[in-house]
Chain A
Amino acid sequence: MIEIETHEWGTLKVKEDTIIHFQDGLLGFEELCDFVFVDVAEFRPFVWFSSVEDPQVRFAVADPFYFSTKAYDVSLSAADEAGLELEEGDSIAIFVIVSIDNGQVTGNLKGPIVLNTRNRRAKQLVVYGTSFPVRQPMLNRRVVPLHSAVANAAVKTTPAA
């Protein structure tokens, strides 16, 4: 366990293997390379993403599907894959940074964060094309993965031997 100072939540004790590492930081925050998720029930569906190095810096992040039902085509370049040390069979998570202006929530679909869940290496991408803006307003609904949609509806059975 290590202790992290935060302005918002005081001292947090976190396991070292929950720290997310950016090789190049975030744009505008290049000197900050280590972050942790702070998941507080009252803020869901948003999650805080808090800097380990600077107690003042934290972002609200969310699933991109709260902002767009379009297929979110985030293609990783060979350099991105190398930065994430992506290997066969790794899982990646994609989330977006949220901002609020006058009660309007927007997600930055142009610069999503991609995370290799195995080694917790992350990178802020710059998505090509004009389909995904920096400030995409939040939708009232989102697309969820099929297994989360059927979680309560599916018949549970054990596989035949």
Chain B
Amino acid sequence: MLILTRKLGENIRIGDKIKISILDVKGGQVKLGIEAPPHVAVHREEIYERIRDENQRASGVSPRGLREVANAFRVGKHKRQGREGS
């Protein structure tokens, strides 16, 4: 991993098209400005982690459980917002 030290107001360039600016440093937080072309996806790491965790969780859905909710949905007895109903 490349490690660079930057001061407030200084930037980092990644290739020709990506610029990362240090906009603010306060307490334990750093505010970054990111300029990147539209084909580069920029997301917080946690978003990827959440989707990864959710994929993992979803891979455990059982046919039995899905059959139940599918049946309930088809007969219009779908439980909404977690409310229990029969």
Contact = CB atoms under 8 A, between A and B. Distances in A.
Interface in B27-86: 38-41, 43, 47-48, 50-61, 63, 65-71, 73-74, 76, 78-82, 84
A4 interface: no
- The B contact surface, by secondary structure, is helix
Nearest to B56: A28
B67 to A, nearest CB: 6
Interface string A51-63: 0000001111000
Interface stretch (A10-18, A86-94, A98-106, A148-156): A98-106
A74 interface: no
Given A79-B41, A126-B43, A140-B76, A98 B51 contact: no
A19 interface: no
A71 to B, nearest CB: 20
Contacts of B80: 137-140
Contacts of A102: 82
> Which of A27, A45, A124 lies at the interface centre, i.e. has the most chain B CB atoms within 10 A of its CB?
A27
A110 interface: yes
A116 interface: no
Contacts of A27: 48, 51-52, 55
Nearest to B48: A27
A147 B71 CA distance: 25
